[in-house]
Each structure stands twice: as C-alpha cells, then as structure tokens.
Chains A and B, each alone.
Chain A
C-alpha cells in the first residue's frame, strides 16, 4: 500500500512537472534568437552559430567534442595531485583514468575506483561535473537532430550541434542544477570545500568525516543521467541522500528531463497527441518494471530473505524497501544508474528486473535525449511491423518508413544486444581472473558480470557492486563497450535523421496507419518489449532466472 502511494506520488509529480519543463525546453532549444552572452561565447570558440549542419557534420562536431572531452577529463584525473582542493589525493593511474574519462563522457559513470580515496574535489567539480552537464546535453543534441529530421522536408540541415549543446546546458541544465541543488542542500546534503576531518566519537573512537561539494554534484548527477557517486555508496550515502524527502526529489530528478523531453518532442512536431502517446508507452513500461520489481522485493522466497524477514540487506532505514526499489527502477529505467541501496543484494528476480530495465534499451523513460531517440526507434519498428501486418504504408509523422530508413533503425536496435552479449561472453571466456571478479557464488556471479556489461554498454552506470571491474582487463573491455554502446547508436540516429529530412512531405491517406490510440500504444509497447527482451532471454535465464526460480 505504502509502495503504491509512493509510486503514485512520484508519477504525479513527474507528469505534473513534465508539462512546463517540456514546453520550456521546446521554446529554448527550437530556433529563436541567440542571447548576447551566447554570441560572445560562439565568437570566443570560433563557431558560426547560424550555419546549420548536415548529419555528417553534426556527427563530426559531436565526435570532436567527445574526443576533446575525454582528453581534458583524462588529463585532469591523471594530474589531479597538482590541482587545488584535491584532499591530498594523487593522480589516478592511467588505465583507471581512461576508463573514468570515457565513463563520464559517455554519460555512463561506472566507477572502477573508490571516490572517497580516488578523486579530489577539483576533479569532481571541473572534470566529472562538466561531463555530467555535457554528456546529458550531447544526448539531447542527437535527439533534437532526429526530431528535426522528422519535422523538416527536403533539406540536409539538422541544426547546429554547438548551438544545441550550449543552449541545452546554459538555458536548461544549469538553472535546474541550481534550483535542485539548493533544495537538496536545504534537506541535508553537504556543500563545502572541506577535506576530511577526524573526530573523536562518543565512545572514544575515531571517525573521519569527508566534506565536499556534494550538493552541486548531486543535483546534476541525477537529472543528467550521469549517476556517478560522490561517495562509493552513491545515493545510498546519507550525505548524498539524507532522508525520505530527498529520496523522493532524487527519484523525480532522474525521471524528469527524459519525461519532459517527450513533451518537447510533441511541441516540436506540432502534435501533443504524439507526445501523450509516447508517454503512455513509457508509463506502461515503467509501471510493468516497477510492479515486477516490487513483487520480487516483497517476497521472502530465498533462505536469506526468509531468515532476515525481508530484503533488508543493503537497504537504508530511512528509505525502506519500497523507497529503495522505486529508486532502483528509476535509476535503471532512466539511464541514470545512481545507487539508492545495494542492487547486488536485491532479491534474485528483483535484481533481474533492474537488469531487464537496462536491456529494454533504457526507454522507460531512458536517458536525457537518448531515452527519446531509443523510444522513437521502438516506435518506428512498431509502425513498420504494424504497417506490414495490416497491409498499409509504413508512415510516421508524414514520413515514409522505407527500406533505407529501416536499415538504420534495425542496425541501431542490434548494437546494444551485440555489444552486451559479445562483451559478456569475452569477459567470461577470456577474463584472466574468471570467477574471482564476481562477488557472489553461483548464477548470481554471472548476473553481476552481465549486469556490468549491460550497464556499461547502455550508458547506465549502476552496478552490482560485488563485481570487481577494477582490473586492466575489465577497464579495457568496458571502455570498448561504452564507446560502441554510446556512439554507434548516435551515428545511426543521425544518419536516420539525415535520410528523413531529405524526404518530401507525404500525404496522409486512408491507407496510413494511425500512430496513436490504444491499438498503437499496445503495438509499440509490445514491439519494445519483444524486441529487447527476446535478445536477452538466454542470458537472463542463465543469470537472474536461474537464481530466482530454483
């Protein structure tokens, strides 16, 4: 009952806020004048903001920004020992630094280091913090280009990457970060530049408390889809998430932008009916995931859970089991991946649902921007299949979905399963340490490994933290998984956008499949579920299903 009321409260707040925020996003990001300060910035950076790019140049700019982001972040991490506010922490070893630089640039934020002893405040603020903003904006840029591809006709131009990037960060993300950050600080999240200080406890022992700019980090890390922890325990740490009220705000923040961006899509294509249709699909998927996880977390089927009397291991008292489950589904249904408890200690099937939420392609509601383009891919597949089934022309928003378009759609859909399954298999087969990297025995160890590569490929970053990824082997393989899992899909999305934008407008005839209404929502939801989960059923059967159904 409590669980249900918590879920309704979160959904009500997110749906309520998504309307004004989505409209705001559409107003700020879709055309309009440049601000004076933005013009100055474009001049300083040598950018012509009024020249639009075709899909190849848009992609080139996006990749150039990515390369430079990785390079600068890598340099900051390796050299942090020479930077101020570093708490005496030395430079990161280069392999870890490379993994971390790629991890935060790709919006993944899987951490193969212990933040308490691995990163100083400067690296967090000026390194990881910048990429939290930037990586979120990159996802939104790719989504904006795809929307323009659907809206525009007979053109190569998809917008200007730099303008999209700067506007997203300056007009949307920074103001939101300030508001949400202050709210979290008021609720108890710390915000200072102090280092660690040791106190003598009540019993005469010693305890070393770590200060830091946590509030400014916490807000960004949640709404950007970044999700990395300022502390090892991430958002289960009391300094990151001090009480049940902050837990609610953090869950809302994770879901907010991806949900609002669906509204932005509706505004930009001039059909709010479309955005409500997509929101219905997302709502159903999120509801299914949450219901499945809640049931699994409620059961005391396993001997450990029966001995304890519930899934309390790895759960904070102040959140309770329902609050932790809701956090977990929000972190994996979005691309955020923050930890609100120990996902490794979730029930077997509960952890399996978290894994399935990521395998679904993170479209419920997914990452910032990436959630929307992932969702549109699922919709296009539904349109295509639906069109074939009833013998009508596959069309979406007056664009024909022909062979050329479907080629990109299908290739997009194949990337994640291929990368996840191949990397997991390579890791099982070639990982020098074999089962030693797994923190748990039996099928759960395999679940941890598949979870790790799913999380890295899907830019999620949540972890079953018993798994030890901090080896040269995993650092290297995860870098490959993250880069392929993030940029190959983006390339296909932009190519698809370019192809769609070149089309002349079609005519809506009686022969066109209507992309709204109950039938279409059912079709799209089904297509998303079947498409994603069938790929992964064998892997799920060997991992979470094997452990949970015995």
Chain B
C-alpha cells in the first residue's frame, strides 16, 4: 500500500469510504426506516395521513391544506375557507410548488397593470392584505377595513415629491397603489391635491408615506385570513377565522350556528402541552365533517 504517493492513496481511500457510506447511510438507513414505518401506529402518518371522502376515494391529506374555491378564485360559500396561499399560481395550495410569498415589510408599492395584461400587475404585500381583508369582509358581511388600507382594498400609500429630493416643500402627491381612474383615498395632503397613479410610470423619485387611516387597530377579519403561510399548504385556520365563518356556513347548510360551532370545536387543536404553537382548526377535516353531518342542499 505504501507504493502509492500519500495524496493518491488518501483519495482512493476517500472514494471507497464515500461508496461505503452511500450503501449504508444512503440506502440501508432510509430503506430500513421505510420498512420500519410499516408497523401499526406509524403506517398511517408514514403514508401521508390520507383522508377519504364520502365515496371512499382519497380526497387529500389531513396535513395538506386545500383551496375551497370554484377554481377561479371565488370562495365556495358552503365551505369554510382556508388561508390565502402562495403555493403555485391561481388559488394556491399546490403541493408541487410549496412556498411563501417572501414579501417583507418594505413591500407597500404595487407594480400596476399595464397594456391590459393582468400578468404585469404585481401587488405589494400591503395591497394583497388589504384586498383579502375587503373580500373576506364582503363574503362574511362584516367590516373588512384595516389600518393602512384604502376603502377600495389596496395599500394607502402616498408618493410625495419634495423640491429638495427627500425633504423641503412637497410639490406633488400621488396615491401609489390606486391606478387611474380610481378616486384617491385622500383628496389632499399637506395642502396639495392627491392624484391617482398612472400605470407604467416610475414613481421611484417619490418618498413613500403610508397613511394609517382610521380603521380599528384590531380589525374584524383576523390576521391569518389575510396572510399566506410559510408553506402555502397550511391545513389550519385560527379559531377566530373559523368563528367568523360560522354564520355563513350555518345559513348555507340550513342548520343552527350552535351545531356548526360544535363541529368546529371538534376539529380544533389546542396548544401542545399548553404552551406550544397556536390553536388551529383543520379546514379539510372540518369541511368533510360538514358534508357528512349537514349536507349542502344546493344553493
């Protein structure tokens, strides 16, 4: 063995170690674990926690959320609605494209639609939150207003031009997220008239000034109803969002709110050990139970 130079012998040893590790930790270990996962108690979770529908066919997984929409983004009113999702295009909840919006606190100015092409519209996180809140408010017949949101459901953000760049006297004010011909949420700011935003025009020279407005600090529509989750596949909503939806479901399903509330409670998970995580309601399981207990008799 000592005939080879040491650097070469070490590389040959390295290659053999990598191959041995590939066989043991790379194949034996995961395949052994897969075999072990067939024992009772592990089998159901190991196979993906599948859920069966009324006809016995698989309808999904209790761990993976679904969109309860008509496929065009409109909520189906007979079902509890999931959170917004950034996984995949359209209504989200695409397990082949898990992920978050990844938009941060700076995301308050929209890229407005140009050339009548909806794909050019890139709403800021703020506008997404405002739009969702307005939509949920309309669906549940409650107040959908939020701080920093306009009444028409976009971000209340002004672009202010100053004669000294970022300071001095204001010369022009634009409501950045309200595309013309929308009526600006403020008629005037610092004595200047506020104009709507012209799509395609760059307003990068303006100082962005978000306007708080007079919406309540604790809006009626709960936070999870207006935000996308980290995976885009969150199977749960908060008990507050479920409670908000109860009257609509009860009306649609011709039963009492009390009955629906009892069902919601059944599918609510509290904090583990009393301190871990947040309480949540599993939406797919709840909707399956709804279909069993209080079938939707059509609109």
Q: Find the B residue at minimum CB distance from A238.
A: B63
Let me know if B9 is at the binding interface, CB within 8 A: yes
Q: Are B13 and A64 in contact (CB under 8 A)?
A: yes
Let me know if B224 is at the binding interface, CB within 8 A: yes
CB contact list, B211-244 vs A, under 8 A: 212, 217-219, 222-224, 226-238
CB contact list, B95-143 vs A, under 8 A: 95-109, 125-126, 129-130, 133
Q: Mark interface residues in A167-178 (1 if CB within 8 Å of B CB, else 0).
A: 001000010011
Q: Are B33 and A117 in contact (CB under 8 A)?
A: no
Most buried by A among B19, B21, B103: B21
Chain A residue contacts of B196, Cβ below 8 A: none
Which of B180-188, B245-253, B254-262, B270-278 contacts its partner? B270-278
CB contact list, A55-74 vs B, under 8 A: 57, 60-61, 64-65, 67-69, 72
Contact of B276 among A6, A72, A200, A444 (CB under 8 A): A6
Chain A residue contacts of B152, Cβ below 8 A: none
Chain B residue contacts of A207, Cβ below 8 A: 60, 64, 66, 93-95
Given known contacts A304-B129, A306-B148, A441-B107, A239 and B223 CB-to-CB distance under 8 angstroms: no
Q: Are A308 and B101 in contact (CB under 8 A)?
A: no
CB contact list, A105-137 vs B, under 8 A: 114, 116-117, 125-127, 129-130, 133-134
Q: Mark interface residues in B1-21 (1 if CB within 8 Å of A CB, else 0).
A: 100001101111111111111
Query: CA–CA, A515 to B217, complex, Å?
Result: 52
Q: Are A129 and B26 in contact (CB under 8 A)?
A: yes
Chain B residue contacts of A41, Cβ below 8 A: 20
Q: Find the B residue at minimum CB distance from A170.
A: B24
Q: Are A231 and B64 in contact (CB under 8 A)?
A: no
Chain B residue contacts of A181, Cβ below 8 A: 33
Chain B residue contacts of A61, Cβ below 8 A: 10, 13-14
CB contact list, B281-299 vs A, under 8 A: 284, 287-288, 291
Q: Are A547 and B20 in contact (CB under 8 A)?
A: no
Q: Are A309 and B223 in contact (CB under 8 A)?
A: yes
Chain A residue contacts of B278, Cβ below 8 A: 244, 317-321, 323
Q: Are A344 and B103 in contact (CB under 8 A)?
A: yes
Q: Are A307 and B149 in contact (CB under 8 A)?
A: yes
Let me know if B49 is at the binding interface, CB within 8 A: yes
Q: Are B64 and A344 in contact (CB under 8 A)?
A: no
Contact of B94 among A194, A208, A465 (CB under 8 A): A208
Query: CA–CA, A65 to B20, complex, Å?
Result: 12
Query: CA–CA, A313 to B63, complex, Å?
Result: 19
Q: Are A233 and B25 in contact (CB under 8 A)?
A: no
Q: Are A307 and B277 in contact (CB under 8 A)?
A: no
CB contact list, A303-329 vs B, under 8 A: 303-310, 312-321, 323-324
Q: Find the B residue at minimum CB distance from A320.
A: B278
Most buried by A among B27, B59, B212, B223: B223
Most buried by A among B17, B47, B103, B105: B105
Let me know if B169 is at the binding interface, CB within 8 A: no
Q: Smallest CB–CB gap between B25 and chain A, Å? A: 5
Query: CA–CA, A169 to B104, complex, Å?
Result: 40
Chain B residue contacts of A48, Cβ below 8 A: 1
Given known contacts A126-B27, A207-B60, A440-B104, A68 and B14 CB-to-CB distance under 8 angstroms: yes
Let me know if A79 is at the binding interface, CB within 8 A: no
CB contact list, B124-180 vs A, under 8 A: 125-126, 129-130, 133, 146-149, 155, 157
Query: CA–CA, A41 to B16, complex, Å?
Result: 10
Q: Are B48 and A192 in contact (CB under 8 A)?
A: yes
Q: Find the B residue at minimum CB distance from A5.
A: B275
Let me know if B36 is at the binding interface, CB within 8 A: yes
CB contact list, A432-466 vs B, under 8 A: 439-445, 464-466
Let me know if B193 is at the binding interface, CB within 8 A: no
Q: Mark interface residues in A372-387 (1 if CB within 8 Å of B CB, else 0).
A: 0000000000000000
Q: Mark interface residues in A37-64 (1 if CB within 8 Å of B CB, else 0).
A: 0000100111110000000010011001
Q: Smallest CB–CB gap between B94 and chain A, Å? A: 7
Query: CA–CA, A65 to B48, complex, Å?
Result: 36
Let me know if A243 is at the binding interface, CB within 8 A: yes
Chain B residue contacts of A242, Cβ below 8 A: 45, 49, 63
Q: Find the B residue at minimum CB distance from A128.
A: B26
Query: CA–CA, A196 to B96, complex, Å?
Result: 9
Q: Are A9 and B105 in contact (CB under 8 A)?
A: no
Q: Mark interface residues in A1-36 (1 if CB within 8 Å of B CB, else 0).
A: 010011001000000000000000000000000000
Q: Are A305 and B105 in contact (CB under 8 A)?
A: yes
Q: Are B48 and A347 in contact (CB under 8 A)?
A: no
Q: Smallest CB–CB gap between A62 and chain B, Å? A: 9
Given known contacts A117-B96, A193-B34, A316-B230, A126 and B277 CB-to-CB distance under 8 angstroms: no
Q: Are B102 and A317 in contact (CB under 8 A)?
A: no
CB contact list, B54-75 vs A, under 8 A: 57-61, 63-71
Q: Are B100 and A236 in contact (CB under 8 A)?
A: yes
Let me know if B190 is at the binding interface, CB within 8 A: no
Query: CA–CA, A72 to B11, complex, Å?
Result: 12
Given known contacts A236-B230, A465-B102, A67 and B11 CB-to-CB distance under 8 angstroms: yes
Q: Are A177 and B106 in contact (CB under 8 A)?
A: no
Let me know if A191 is at the binding interface, CB within 8 A: yes
Contact of A216 among B30, B58, B276, B284 (CB under 8 A): B30
Q: Are A125 and B148 in contact (CB under 8 A)?
A: no
Can you list 6 contacts pairing A with B, beta carbon distance less than 8 Å? A117-B96, A217-B30, A237-B98, A247-B277, A308-B223, A318-B278
Please name 7 further chain A to chain B contacts, defined as beta carbons within 8 Å, in addition to the given A232-B98, A245-B276, A309-B222, sorted by A numbering: A45-B20, A68-B15, A72-B19, A191-B42, A303-B147, A315-B230, A344-B103
The 6 tightest CB contacts between A and B, nearest first, are A244-B277, A236-B230, A320-B278, A342-B100, A466-B102, A126-B26
